Amino acid sequence: MNYIKTKDGILLKDVQEFEPEHIFECGQCFRWNRTPDGGYKGTAGKRNIRIKRVDPGILFYNIGEREFCKYWVDYFDLGRDYGYIKKILSEDPVLKKAAEYGSGIRILKQDVWETLVSFIISANNNIKRIKNTIERLCHDFGEKLTSKDEIYFAFPTPDRLAEQAAQNLRACGCGYRAEYILRTAKIVAGGDVNLYSLEKMNTKDVRNILLSFPGVGPKVADCIMLFSMAKLDVFPVDVWVKRVMEHFYLREGTPLPKIHGFATEIFGPFAGMAQQYLFYYAKNIMGRTPDKR
């Protein structure tokens, strides 16, 4: 990894497979937004940051080396060779095209609690509304923070959400998911499950634990493992992935578990990366509903 300190922040140089637009628009995160200068600004946990593709690399604004190494290297999974993964997956002709299209996608390593709640909200929902609901939750119940005269809100803690009435969560647009979030928050706040110990367990065991939370089914569980625990072997099947899989590999009407099993078999340890390429590809190529931001 090659980076230098500049007056603006940290400049990551010679990085392969890092395309901000593809990373932030591929459905894995909800608190990153495009800035007028063509970069992106996002909040992760208690931190917010602005990044932008500049000529020689990726610029991380207003942070030092210490902060970069301590947090953002892991967050952006900078130690992983995505070129290698892409090469392996590209042996499949469909994946080859999808990976070319979504070139530069990386799997973020997001906070587990935040990802858990975010993907409970994502059920039967669309990205625009998911983002809106999450921002309102953060605004109402998250810690108020400032950086460089700018106000932003951290994602609410389990305790803070657990003490709310369901009605307060519904007021943020959660709808019927409010009860799921509330019950989940109470479980986590109660301390029976340590979300941050799950990562080192195997995929199957983690999935079963995640499935025990209300509002978490197979798809949401896979998303949580993929987007907050770097479990690249999972394959979340949502409607778009179902469409693209049925279009290229399987007959229409294939049950979700069958699609899941088929995909994990042919894509193996990088099934999650295949899912990201396919999702992004499907949504933009096969797409109706461009899901305008």
Partner DNA sequence: CCCCAGGCTTTAC
Partner DNA sequence: GTAAAGCCTGGG
**Sequence-distant (≥ 6) Cβ neighbours of residue 213 within 8 angstroms:** 116, 120, 180, 183, 184, 187
Least Å distance between CB 108 and DNA? 12
**Sequence-distant (≥ 6) Cβ neighbours of residue 8 within 8 angstroms:** 59, 61, 62
Q: Three-state DSSP class for 61?
A: strand
The reply to whether 44 sits near DNA by the rule CB under 7 A is no
Question: Is 76:62 a contact under the CB 8 Å cutoff?
Answer: no
- In the chain, the amino acid numbered 170 is R
**Element of type H or E holding 11:** strand 9-13
Least Å distance between CB 289 and DNA? 6
Least Å distance between CB 2 and DNA? 30
Task: From 82-90, 185-193, 194-202, 207-215, give the range in contact with DNA by CB under 7 A.
Answer: 207-215
Closer residue to DNA in complex, CB, 70/129: 129
Query: Could you say which residues in the range 131-160 bind DNA, by CB under 7 A?
Result: 132
Question: Is 273:91 a contact under the CB 8 Å cutoff?
Answer: no
Query: Could you say which residues in the range 75-134 bind DNA, by CB under 7 A?
Result: 122-129, 132
The reply to whether 220 sits near DNA by the rule CB under 7 A is yes
Closer residue to DNA in complex, CB, 110/122: 122
Contacting DNA (CB under 7 A), which of 240, 267, 270, 277? 240
Using CA atoms, how far apart are residues 155 and 168, in angstroms rounded to an integer? 16
* Number of CB atoms found within 10 A of residue 279's CB: 23
Contacting DNA (CB under 7 A), which of 173, 207, 235, 277? 173
Sequence-ordered alpha helix ranges (H) in 212-269: 218-228, 239-248, 256-267
- In the chain, the amino acid numbered 216 is V
Closer residue to DNA in complex, CB, 35/132: 132
Task: From 60-68, 71-79, 206-214, 262-270, give the range in contact with DNA by CB under 7 A.
Answer: 206-214
Q: Site map for DNA, 256-275, x if CB under 7 A?
A: -x------------------
The reply to whether 291 sits near DNA by the rule CB under 7 A is yes
Contacting DNA (CB under 7 A), which of 56, 190, 255, 269? 255
- For DNA (CB under 7 A), the number of binding residues is 37
Question: Is 190:196 a contact under the CB 8 Å cutoff?
Answer: no
Give catalytic residues, as residue numbers: 219
Q: Three-state DSSP class for 59?
A: strand
Cα distances from 78 to residues 31, 74, 87, 185, 245, in angstroms, run: 20, 6, 17, 31, 29
Task: From 9-17, 45-53, 216-224, 259-267, give the range in contact with DNA by CB under 7 A.
Answer: 216-224
Closer residue to DNA in complex, CB, 57/218: 218
Using CA atoms, how far apart are residues 120 and 148, in angstroms rounded to an integer? 32
The reply to whether 219 sits near DNA by the rule CB under 7 A is yes
Q: Write out the residues near DNA by the rule CB under 7 A.
A: 26-28, 122-129, 132, 170, 173, 175-177, 180, 211, 213-221, 223, 238-240, 255, 257, 283, 289, 291
